Every structure is written in structure tokens, then in C-alpha cells.
Amino acid sequence: MTGRRRFPGHELAGVVTALGYGTTGLSVGQRVFGLIDWYRDGSLAEYAAVEARNLAPLPGDVDFAAGASLPMPGLTAWQGLFEHGRLQAGQSVLVHGAAGSVGSMVTQLAREAGAYVIGTGRAADRQKALDFGAMEFVDLENDALEDAGRVDLVFDVIGGGIQKRSAGLVRAGGTLVSVVGPAEARPAGGLAVDFVVESDRAQLGEVVRRVRDGRLRTNIGNVAPLDDAVAALNPAERRKGKTIIRVRP
């Protein structure tokens, strides 16, 4: 809007400083984390107005950097695997970008659910993807994607030609889940689903509970102060892991 400053950012973790009239489920002084509505932005600021339904309690033994790193990757992975992909124990999952912030969360949650996970990425990402729980790894620059074999679920964060080729790997009755827009190819005898992540307090609670008990690890690549946010979010070279902006020291 003309004449008003607009702050970017969707994910956040912090402390509740005030409540709107009639707000329930939260209290002033409470530690929280969550996702701001897509049409609002505003998390890269000292104060942000957030719908209470979009926030979940952040336990005292989970620091704010970890809390801020969880909403987008955690909710994307949870919703893609369980709501849209309908993942069941014993199924196989092909996770593109398995060493990235979303892919590493997908990999861990899928393994915990009893799935066989095949990760993909660049050669330099192999060990990191395996460390996060991938049981096999396909180097998209040097290996044949088709060597991964048939799978029940493809979780795609890349799109383009990789997505089209991945559709051919989905077994009958399986699903290709895309977070990069509508799929350009549909699996034969299967489904193609694209979605935009939504905030969900209960799911945030499930994610942070797993972080507390060691079942999930965060994937933070860099923590920078607010003054360095522009440079940190627009790096000159590829960074591994999620970038966190610390608003206050």
C-alpha cells in the first residue's frame, strides 16, 4: 500500500507481547512460533501481528532460532506426506532436494513413519541427505534418476524436467506431490497433487515435539542479524540449510 512500509517474511518465533480482544489459547509473555498468513508477511520486524490460530507454543528448551526454522519446512513436509501423499508404513518415497530445509524434514518424517526413503540432489549433498535418514541417494547431475526404481510417493521441490521424469516412477495408485506449482506430468494410474502450505497449530505441535525428543533435527545453515538480512537472504553463493534472521541480539 502506498505510503506504508512492508516487511517481508512468513516464519517467526518470539514472545507474545499483546493479545487482541477475545483471543484464546495464548497468553502475554508466552513463547510461540508459527507462520504468518501469506497475504500479510511481516515476520522480519521487531513486532508482528499474527492470527492466534497460526501460532503454537514453543517449549522453553527449544531456542528461537530452531523455532523459526520449523514452520515452513515442518508443515510442508507434514502436509505433503500425510494429508496429500497419504503415506503409509512400508511405502517408498523419492524425496527431491533431500538435503535442503524442506527435503531434510520430509526425509526424517517419512523414515519415522516407516517408509523407505530415496533422496536426490547434487553430489555434494549425498552425505548430508544420508545423515538425515535417506537410505539411498541419486546424484541428479551424474546418476540416472530412473535407477531409483518405482516408488509410491514422489515429493517434488524442483519441478521442470526432473518432475516430468519422476512422474514415470510412481507406481499405480501412488502420488506425485509438488510444492512448486501444478505438476506438468501425471503419473500413469496415480495422482498428481500440488498445494500451498497452511498454518496448523496441532501440526506445529507435532513437529516441535519431535524436535524436543530427538526424532527430528533442524537444518539451519546460517543465522544473521537483522541488519544483514538483505545480504543473508540473497547470498552470492549457494548455502546449505535454512537462513534465520535474528531480529534482536
Q: Give the integer Cα–Cα distance in Å for 65 and 228.
A: 16
Burial string for 41-60 (b: 16+ CB within 10 Å, else e) reads ebbbeeebebebebbbbbee
pLDDT band at 1 (very low <50, low <70, confident <90, very high): very low
pTM: 0.93
Q: Give the integer Cα–Cα distance in Å for 207 and 105.
A: 10
What CATH architecture applies to the domain 73-194? Answer: 3-Layer(aba) Sandwich (3.40)
Q: Give the integer Cα–Cα distance in Å for 57 and 63.
A: 12
Model pLDDT for residues 2-55, shown as the tens digit of each residue: 445 567 778 999 999 999 998 988 999 999 999 998 777 778 888 988 999 999
What CATH architecture applies to the domain 11-71+199-246? Answer: Alpha-Beta Complex (3.90)
Q: Give the integer Cα–Cα distance in Å for 137 and 119.
A: 5
* Spans of all domains in the chain: 11-71+199-246, 73-194
